[in-house]
Structure 1
């Protein structure tokens, strides 16, 4: 790279000013990623990508436009800015658009305490291949595994710099290490598959590749002989691996962009109870070694911990500047953007109150019902919260798992479902979304 990302982002601002923009902001990203897939102990696919992407947003009065490129030559920056200004002059006015006021900007810009990037060297491709091979071999060591669909290892690192004509300028780096394995048990129409994976910022935090392969195999073999469950109304346990999707629907419904459009099944629920009274949902952008952490958002505003739901009561929306202005509110510093798009509200690290019982203890309490370990497809009405998804997992009789289940549908209404959840205590605290297994009473199952 011939110039730093900071210099590159400021060069875009200078070009925008010279082209006639009244205000502008810029983002520059330098990224590297490596992905390795193996099959039968040999390399099947290897991919490496690296490069710089840049994005520029310009304002001409209350009109704006965004352009992006992977070419960082000075002539390209000037051409980008000229095109962006020309586009902005033809765009419709948006009275809510614009940069943050200087007194709104973050002043603590040091992301080092968050430990968002592993300082170690980039792993060699053969090191990643060895990890994937170990995961595959561990899965195949299970005599009931007929094949491994995929075993992969990967790495990525991104350096990002944001700058704006209001005086903001700061950057950060992120890294990611991952191992995954998908195992298959059975043959022909009796095949069943399941998986395990781990993703961490620091390689030293990664679970062992053999453990990942072994667990993927155990999960796949446990699904052998799956059949449809009974049709009816039963309690349903959402396994920790997929429980965050249920809370994710709540988070989507409180997104400020949805609310500003006057839609969403929680659009009239501000200040109302949306979860049982003993449960809360908190956002904490400052958790160490967590993928969603950040000191400032994509508009340069300082991030901070906040309550989304407190003691069951909805506290507010997730907002960037534009949607906050539309709603007559203040931004919650949740703006995120890419090089090709402008800011929009985006949640960071979220945690639901954990319970005091294990998943096994809640299963023992539920009597007869379904433990869901995977879901496919969805029919979710964003305005009413009506919920219907394909599911598979295990049938529970008298508080004990009895047989594996597939080809069923679980249905309900999200507003009612969320008021009937009981959390377990098994959430993985290193994830961005810390959500334990969730028991939901009285859902409709469609099976045999």
Structure 2
């Protein structure tokens, strides 16, 4: 049986690891409890999270035990990693709501039957900590000089790092210690931007309890230019179909750069690597076949096969020359509102296609808005019932974003 360590390495997940050979040997001979932490900063997981979910699924399929750690406690402080400013402070109610939504989404990917996996919340041990006891047990093991040299803090020193955020590494490290004590958790996984925090936990467990634990980080989901994937002009690519429709999700994946297709197939699907490499060698117009496979497979994993088929058929109908794609993103608006007409910028705002009127004006002036195959040139254009075809109106933003307005 193939060792999951080799699987993750071959598919391109592995970035940094402690005691790699030891960890590989451990993963090859016993079921290892492992965890990844997810701060509840929004009410849905994102495409960026999905890479880590894929790693968890690979691990579980190989017989290891996932522990999904919801950051009900750490979210109250906020991780400074990769942020130019302090994160927005959320209320306990918002955090609890977000954590519950995460819990629902994880159940689509990870099997929690018969304790095959656990989902826990660090609020259970962080919120009632005695601060003095915490400093004496945990804080004494951390060097301030070394912490300030960590990338997650160093990049923030000039702009301002709050003492609140400075505590984050200690809290995340303490999570590993608690999970080791409670569930014999021996491995923490996470994105490469978390290396400093994850290393802190690995060292804490070894120092305080003498535990043989390990740390491994993954490459972040970035394109060939080094930019994080999962962001568009319209915003984040969410796993919640109410926030990013299956069609939008499919289209985002379908539009990966040619250079990123093989990497996407390796990281975001379960296709055998022989097939991944074969698809990755396609060139020119042929690469579009690989992109369609990638988009279908990822959409199937996230939204189910039925929704993936719908999204694929909708895309084929749309780009095949028709505009009858019923599963593309849409907004319903009462017919009566169009009797006197709605200006095009207001309509785009209500459809969520633009964030401001200024953005709408710029798009139109740059030739980036098309309605029913007609380019919009007038920023004051009024849309009326006469513009609709079978109670539907197609708006195209840029080259790739399509949205349908439906009369109700």
Range into which the TM-score falls when normalised by the shorter chain: under 0.3
Higher share of residues assigned strand:
1
Q: Give the TM-score of the pair, scaled to structure 1.
A: 0.23
| Higher helix proportion | 2
TM-score, length-normalised on structure 2?
0.24
